[in-house]
Amino acid sequence: MKILVADKISPTGIEYFKQQPGYEVVVAWEVIADWSASPEQVISLIGDVDGIAVRSETTVSEEVIAAAPKLKVVGRAGVGVDNVNIPAATERGVIVMNTPGGNTIATAELTFTHMLCGSRPIARADAEMKAGGWPRKTLPKGAELYQKVLGVCGLGRIGAEVAKRAQGFGMTVLAYDPYLTESRAETLGLKKVDLDTLVKQSDYITVHMPLTPETKYMIDEAAIAKMKKGVRLFNCARGGIIKESALIEGLQSGKVAAAGLDVYEDEPLAKDCPFRSMDNVVLTPHLGASTSEAQESVGIEIAEQMVDALNGGMVRNAINMPSIDPKDLEKLKPYLNLGEKLGSFIQQLSNDGVEKIKISYFGKIINLDTTPLSRAIQRGYLARISPNVNDVNAPSKLEQLGVDVETTRSSTDANYTELIEVQAIESSGKTRTVAGTLFGKSQSPRIVSIDGHGVEVNTSGTLLVVKNKDVPGMVGYLGTVLGKDGVNIANLSLARDQGEGFAISVVELDSAPSAATQAEISGHEHIEKFKVIEL
């Protein structure tokens, strides 16, 4: 494995990479002083890398991803992944991961520093003192945090840590977070409210959410208009959550008494930005994770996560694919091969124009996290359609094909202790179905149903699936025509549908029949349809 450490992470993290057997580590800043000035040199470094570790300096663009055909993982030592082209990475099947927990305390403490500086004119007093003044009587009076209301937008790791510190200062905490449960809010000792209530009732407001289409300009002119006169606003999360033009207007009018910003809509902050000349704003240059402890933590954490992913272990903190508990993954391992085979089988069994894949789980398996299994089924479905498909890009590739995926879990009884059923719903309205399970102590995968007909079929090799009229001599006919072609039959499973007068035969073959033999079978008067399926 070759790792490119593009930005400066902790030496301990770099050493962790180097300690892994078979790993080659290239430390970029020892080779290239300025990435932006040497794009050709950068491209030359990434051509054969398996993983890239970055902070915020290096941009992992679509061009960079395209130039790294072996790339499997991009690790961001920090929270934000704005500098990584996630759609391009996902399309290529590259895992993008971050370290959301490593800088939690550092960012929470910086937020609280801004809150304190926004309550008392600390920065201004320091500047005037160092200029030779004694501004004791000329500085504006400050405010106390005690018994004030703090509104926290976003109760993830950082928001929760800010809330704890605020409670230590005697503040009442309101929280807005669509994903916050009442029970967790009660555990944290705060009150869950909607955004409108929060902006109206808070004396201090701090945001701790990712920048998304839903959160962009969440705090705008309309929100500020609803706030108390003299409110104080803080953003150490992502620029753009608070609309800067609206904040400038609020600061100038006196509606907003003070603000503290560590992040901005455009970075670095423009030299002529009005914030730079305002006494009631404290500015820091994106220092949220800039502590020695945080940098040590995220450097080690991203190295461990990337190594785990590259070595086939647990994928943690991935942005573009789900993570899973290692214990669940271990229990699911026997099913993953079965799932991939079922996906491949249903794709080959179906006609063109599949609009929807429905995956159903029955029995004890529903007690596990079946997300990796669903990904395996999707990967199997796409294996013959799209090159370089994996668990990362399978869902997006199906979406590009216009195929919806629906997953259901049922505790109702099935004919087996555990059963996985995959349906392909075609644009014609027809539905093709295959189901499988594991047999015996060896947990051997078996296909046990095709279009509702009970069979027992191995999940490897060449299968001939035949639907024919249930008349005498059909099994003998298949044996004869395959024998003439030199194709040996390894096994046969037969299911009869007496109501319709048809039979389903699944013939396991040692090799695929020739095109001429397939044409001969297709032309038989009693054979309605057949498929040759390779698993």
Q: What share of the chain is helix, strand, coil (3-state, %, to 5)?
A: 35, 25, 40
Catalytic status, residue 55:
no
Which candidate in 124, 286, 496, 524 is catalytic?
286
Q: Of the listed 76, 238, 375, 446, which one is catalytic? A: 238
Tell me which residue has tokens 């996906």: 343
User: 123: how many CB neighbours lie within 10 A of its CB?
Assistant: 16
Which residue bears the tokens 């395959």? 482
267 assigned to active site? yes
Which residues, 6 or more positions from 378, have their beta carbon under 8 angstroms from its beta carbon? 343, 357, 394, 395, 398, 405
**Active-site choice (15, 62, 221, 267):** 267
Q: What is the DSSP string of 128-181?
A: HHHTT---TTTSPP----TTPEEEEE--SHHHHHHHHHHHHTT-EEEEE-TT--
Q: What is the DSSP letter of 223?
A: H
Q: Please give the C-alpha separations between residue 259 and each of 224, 276, 353, in angstroms, as whole numbers.
A: 13, 12, 56
Question: Got the DSSP string for 285-335?
Answer: SS-TT-SHHHHHHHHHHHHHHHHHHHTT----SBSSS----HHHHHHHHHH
For helices 326-349 and 371-382, what crossing angle results, to 10°? 30
Token code pair at residue 205? 């407001």
114 is catalytic: no
CB 307 within 8 A of CB 17: yes
- CA 471 – CA 219 distance, rounded (Å): 74
Q: Which residues are catalytic?
A: 238, 267, 286
